[in-house]
């Protein structure tokens, strides 16, 4: 089973995504264009978020997905989130490119589940990850371990 993330399609205020073998439809208010794929492709979704998750099949409580060379534990929240924002990957790539040639110290405020923190650590920076949510900090620690960045 593919363990990566892929944006399959978007439009009409929704996005169709592959999360490590699980296909999700989530709202996206910025997807103001028309969908590229037909309805038959969108109907293949395993779960759709519409004021809560509607499941077409039983899904695991959590699973692992690779995004930007990092491994994240994914779990569906009551407010459409999965535990990672893959649309930030281009920002992580830029951040990593800035760190490679410099000995950097990074403080990531509002760090959520660790995408920017883990990218920075992987590139060689010394990182301080800060978030007011204890749950987010714990998930960031788990994601660091999953990505081989425990220390």
Q: What is the pTM of this model?
A: 0.89
In this predicted model, what pLDDT tens digit does every residue of 70-114 receive, in sequence order? 999 999 999 899 999 999 999 999 999 999 767 899 999 999 999
Distance between CA atoms of 63 and 11, rounded to whole angstroms? 26
Run of H or E residues at 40: helix 39-42
Report the pLDDT value the prediction gives residue 100, as an integer from 0 to 100: 74
Average pLDDT, the chain: 94
**C-alpha separations of 138 from 21, 106, 125, 132 in Å:** 25, 19, 20, 11
Report the pLDDT value the prediction gives residue 103, as an integer from 0 to 100: 82
Distance between CA atoms of 64 and 73, rounded to whole angstroms? 5
3-state secondary structure 9-20: EEECCEEEEEEC
């Amino acid at each position: 089973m593919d363990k990566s993330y892929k944006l399959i399609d978007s439009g009409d205020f929704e996005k169709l995504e592959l999360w490590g073998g699980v296909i999700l439809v989530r709202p996206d208010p910025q997807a103001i264009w028309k969908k590229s794929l037909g309805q038959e492709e969108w109907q293949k979704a395993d779960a759709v978020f519409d004021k809560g998750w509607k499941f077409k099949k039983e899904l695991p409580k959590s699973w692992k997905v690779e995004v930007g060379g990092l491994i994240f534990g994914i779990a569906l929240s009551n407010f459409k989130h999965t535990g990672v924002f893959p649309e930030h990957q281009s920002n992580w790539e830029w951040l990593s490119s800035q760190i490679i040639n410099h000995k950097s110290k990074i403080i990531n405020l509002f760090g959520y589940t660790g995408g920017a923190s883990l990218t920075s650590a992987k590139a060689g920076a010394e990182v301080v990850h800060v978030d007011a949510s204890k749950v987010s900090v714990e998930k960031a620690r788990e994601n660091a371990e999953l990505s081989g960045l425990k220390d």
